[in-house]
């Protein structure tokens, strides 16, 4: 009797592990974008320079959905940040200046707020008003996109070309001049 109970417990625990792995892989697969088995034009999807940036979809503070694939054909500055992060605060005026100067040049600036680290979403709105931020801010309240892009330091910025290929990644605050140089070097 004891052996049957132990066997049933073992089967149950194995089932839980299998379900957990399946559920994790399913969630990750929902976030990734594949035009074909090898990515786009034979370029693999990944988070390193030279790879197609993985697709994601997040809601803005106004609950408007936005995905990375809908920006195809535009160059993208993708910035991961939080209100409590001193380097993020230092960098924000540079990003806003960059956005204002490049918004009419087929360039999109997207800020991804690491909402899961914030005390409240109102803190984010207050921050944006204080810094006069006008570019789109998306909420990553479940850390799905931060996990997808393996974000471990704040801020982190990706420069993505008009084909969706990551050209550069910066960890830590960068200046307007760094943004300009990186963007001007890609198509």
Q: Is residue 47 part of a domain?
A: no
Residues 151 and 103 occupy one common structural domain: yes
Span 163-176, average pLDDT: 96
Question: For residue 43, what pLDDT is reported?
Answer: 84
Does the pLDDT of residue 91 top 60, yes or no? yes
* For range 96-124, the mean pLDDT: 97
Q: Is residue 52 part of a domain?
A: no
Evaluate if residue 49 carries a pLDDT over 70. Answer: yes
Instruction: Indicate if 17 and 65 belong to the same structural domain.
Output: no
Residue 18, pLDDT above cutoff 70? no
Question: Residue 159's beta-bridge partner residues?
Answer: 77, 168
Cα 65 to chain centroid, rounded = 14
What does the angle CA 48 – CA 184 – CA 82 come to, to the nearest 5 degrees? 55
CATH number at residue 176: 3.40.30.10
Whether residue 80 is found in the same domain as residue 142: yes
Let me know if residue 17 belongs to a domain. yes
Summary mean pLDDT of the chain: 86
pLDDT at res. 17: 42
For every residue of 33-95, DSSP letters joined together read --SSTTSBTTBPB-SSTTSBPPP-EEEETT--EEESGGGTTSEEEEEEE-TT-HHHHHHHHHH
Which pLDDT value is given to residue 76? 98
38 or 179: whose pLDDT is higher?
179
Domain limits for position 97: 57-184
């Amino acid at each position: 009797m004891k052996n049957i109970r132990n066997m049933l417990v073992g089967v149950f625990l194995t089932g839980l592990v299998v379900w957990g792995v399946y559920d994790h892989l399913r969630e990750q697969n929902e976030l990734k974008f594949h035009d074909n088995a090898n990515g786009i034009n034979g370029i693999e999807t990944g988070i390193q320079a030279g790879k197609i940036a993985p697709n994601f979809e997040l809601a803005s503070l106004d609950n408007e959905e936005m995905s990375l694939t809908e920006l195809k054909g535009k160059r993208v500055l993708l910035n991961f940040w939080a209100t409590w992060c001193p380097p993020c605060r230092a960098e924000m005026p540079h990003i806003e200046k960059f956005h204002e100067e490049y918004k009419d040049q087929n360039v999109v600036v997207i800020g991804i707020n690491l909402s899961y680290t914030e005390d409240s979403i109102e803190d984010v709105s207050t921050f944006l008003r204080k810094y006069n931020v006008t570019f789109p801010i998306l909420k990553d309240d479940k850390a799905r996109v931060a996990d997808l892009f393996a974000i471990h330091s704040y801020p982190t910025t990706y420069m993505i070309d008009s084909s969706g290929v990551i050209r550069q990644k910066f960890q830590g605050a960068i200046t307007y001049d760094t943004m300009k140089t990186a963007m001007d070097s890609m198509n």
